[in-house]
Amino acid sequence: MPQVDPEKQREFAVEIVRRLRARGFEALWAGGCVRDRLLGITPKDYDVASTARPEQIREIFGILRTVPVGAAFGVITVIGTRTAGHIEVATFREDKSYSDGRHPDSVEFSSPEADARRRDFTINGVFYDPLDDRVIDFVGGQEDLACRVVRAIGDPRARFAEDKLRLLRAVRFAATLRFALDPDTRRAIREMAGEVTLVSAERIAAEMRLMLVHETRANSVKLLRDVGLLAAVLPELFAGQATALPSVSAEPDRVRWALTLEVLDRLDTPTFPLALAALLHAFVSAAVAYEICRRWKLSNRESQRTAWLLEHQSALLDARQMPWSKLQKLLIAEGSDELLRLHEAVAKATNTPTAHVEHCRALLTMPREQLDPPPLVTGNDLIAHGVRRGKLYPKLLGAVRDAQLDKQVASKAEALALVDRLRASGDDPDQTSGD
Ligand code: ATP
Ligand code: MG
């Protein structure tokens, strides 16, 4: 919903409360939007909690304007205009026993107070009445917002035992809001960190994504490490199997962590693959990074990009000395901007010059037909030239392409002459493929 206008969204969230009240139901803003509002941050979405039941919510806003996203939990999405976006309206509820450590076994519609108490952290448990401009706080959330503390509602151990995702959420809220973790909540996280793997890999990855793309990513990583959650979700970082950069992997752990946090801090609005590559770069090989991405069920595209960035993390260091045919392939690659940003962050983090990055950026301003000119010779040209298709065909084409980029051949005739020389010197697929 990129066209959503925050002001229209807010008006829509007020309107929803007004209409529910007009029908005799209690309705309040709940969760993150209340927290953000009290912190002076523009909420990115609004949640409304109400005494209305799912079928009543649908009846009031219309079957066609509502989607029963989580009707079993009493959650209905109400669809607004394009600029107002969607708002989730939920029935006040409490969650009944959590036997799997991930999901409640059942939910029961309930009072606003019980609904506040089933929420994860006090700062997320405050309600707001936008019609009377009134805060309704059963859990001491306002005080914790004022002293900037993330505190579990009730007994932290019991709350984390119910739903282990909360372990990661606690760190995410503390790091991204730059809040402290309440000491008892923090102790519980430390004790229970190992249990986070009960949560599905996708949900772990989703939390990691939110933390790593946020500007506070270094805070998150440091806190995750300090409370033991990083070792639970990324044991590879602690396995002492560094294979990435010989120069870096020889460094003691302390140095590699300091470098990693610095690099993370230097990234400016990174993609998830770039931030993840920065987190992994001093500890694991590209192959291990790829396995991590697969475990987290990232898309092929993101998995490949992360591994590619790790594989080429130092490739541009000697950009100024490199043959153009080699550098060009990195610069025209889809991930080149991220690769340059990784190099830049590493250079800044280590207080080393960024001339290699600037050199590449200057080259990238070349017009496309100069940066990546059409090939002088194609497969069809080779066929027409009488070269029989064979296993080494791509090798011949590659050699001719490199010669073209390095300005050793400048025309199709020169390129085909090079093909002839390569064939004569034994690089001919017909001679070497054995058929
Ligand atoms: P964000 O800004 O990340 O969206 P949020 O607080 O809105 O933060 P959501 O995941 O959108 O977080 O959830 C909305 C609200 O639902 C939370 O504020 C919290 O009250 C409650 N909640 C969400 N996840 C949990 C959970 N795992 N356990 C308990 N309560 C939760
Ligand atoms: Mg939210």
pLDDT (tens digit per residue) in 20-39? 999 999 999 999 999 999 99
Answer whether 32 contacts ligand 1 (Cβ < 6 A). Answer: yes
Contact 64, 49 (CB under 8 A): no
Residue at 314: amino acid letter: S
252 compared with 11, residue with greater pLDDT: 11
> Does the pLDDT of residue 433 top 50, yes or no?
no
Q: Which ligand is nearest to the CA of 211?
A: 1
pLDDT at 272 > cutoff 60: yes
Quick one: average pLDDT of 350-373? 97
**Ligand 1 within 6 A of 225 CB?**
no
3-state secondary structure the chain: CCCCCHHHHHHHHHHHHHHHHHCCCCEEEECHHHHHHHCCCCCCCCEEEECCCHHHHHHHHCHHHEEEEEHHHCEEEEECCCCCCEEEEEECEEECCCCCCCCCCCEEECCHHHHHHCCCEHHHCEEEECCCCEEEECCCHHHHHHCCEECECCCHHHHHHHCCHHHHHHHHHHHHHCCEECHHHHHHHHHHHHHHHHCCHHHHHHHHHHHHHCCCHHHHHHHHHHCCHHHHHCHHHHCCCCCCCHHHHCCCHHHHHHHHHHHHHHCCCCCHHHHHHHHHCCCCCHHHHHHHHHHCCCCHHHHHHHHHHHHCCCCCCCHHHCCHHHHHHHHCCCCHHHHHHHHHHHHHHCCCCCHHHHHHHHHHCCCHHHHCCCCCCCHHHHHHCCCCCCCCHHHHHHHHHHHHHCCCCCCHHHHHHHHHHHHHHHHCHHHHCCC
CA of 428 to the centre of ligand 2 (A): 62
Contacts of 371 (CB under 8 A, 6+ apart): 328, 331, 332, 363, 364
Q: To the nearest whole number, what is the mean pLDDT of the chain?
A: 94
* CB distance 296 to 273 below 8 Å: no
Protein residue whose Cα sits closest to atom 21 of ligand 1? 119
pLDDT at 435: 39
Q: How far is CA 402 from CA 76, 131, 356, 361, 386, in A?
A: 59, 69, 21, 21, 21
- Is the beta carbon of 70 within 6 A of some atom in ligand 1? no
CA dihedral 102, 105, 110, 113 (to 10 degrees): -30
95 Cβ closer than 6 Å to some ligand 1 atom: no
For residue 160, give the ligand nearest its CA: 1
Distance 235 CA to ligand 2 centre (A): 29
Q: How confident is the model at residue 391 (pLDDT cuts 50, 70, 90)?
A: confident
- Substitution candidate for ligand 1 out of 124, 151, 164, 208 with most atoms within 8 A of CB: 124
Residue among 110, 115, 119, 160 whose CB has most ligand 1 atoms within 8 A, to mutate: 119
* Closest atom, ligand 1, to C-alpha of 95: 29
pLDDT at 434: 38
**Distance between Cα 164 and ligand 1 center (Å):** 14
Q: Stretch 118-143: mean pLDDT, rounded?
A: 98
Ligand 1: residue of 107, 120, 168, 204 to mutate (most ligand atoms within 8 A of CB) is 120
Residue 251 is encoded by which pair of tokens? 């460094």
Q: Which of 58, 75, 54 is nearest to 66 (CA)?
A: 58
d(CA 44, ligand 2 centre) in Å: 7
**Cα maximum dimension of the chain:** 90
Instruction: Check residue 248 and give its pLDDT.
Output: 59
Tokens of 179: 């809040």
Distance from the alpha carbon of residue 166 to the mean position of ligand 1, in angstroms:
9
Is the pLDDT at 238 greater than 50? The verdict is yes
Q: Per mean pLDDT, which range of 91-95, 130-134, 145-149, 245-249 is the poorest?
A: 245-249
**Which residue's CA is the nearest one to ligand 1's atom 5?**
32
| Res. 249: pLDDT tops 80 | no
Is the pLDDT score of 299 beyond 50? Answer: yes
Q: Scan for tokens 């107070």, then name that residue.
A: 113
Average pLDDT over residues 136-140: 98
Q: How much distance in Å is there from the Cα of 295 to the middle of ligand 1?
A: 25
Residue-level pLDDT at 243: 52
pLDDT at residue 427 above 80? no
Which ligand neighbours the alpha carbon of 119 most closely?
Answer: 1
Tell me if 115 CB under 6 Å of ligand 1.
no
Give pLDDT, residue 358. 98
Task: Burial-class residue 379 by CB neighbours within 10 Å (0-12, 13-18, 19+).
Answer: middle
CA distance 435 to 432: 8
296 to each of 170, 300, 350, how far by Cα in Å?
20, 11, 30
**For position 77, what pLDDT does the model report?**
97
Q: What percent of the chain has pLDDT over 90?
A: 87
Confidence tier at 247 by pLDDT (50, 70, 90): low
The pLDDT-based confidence of 252 (bands split at 50, 70, 90) is confident
Residue 7: both structure tokens together: 């002001």
Which atom of ligand 1 has the smallest separation from the CA of 31? 18
Sign of CA dihedral 391, 397, 400, 402: negative
Residue of the CA atom closest to atom 24 of ligand 1: 120
pLDDT at 189: 98
Q: CA 49, 55, 58, 59: dihedral to nearest 10 degrees? A: -120
Q: Is 165 in the pocket of ligand 1 (CB under 6 A)?
A: yes
- Is the C-beta atom of 120 inside 6 A of ligand 1? yes
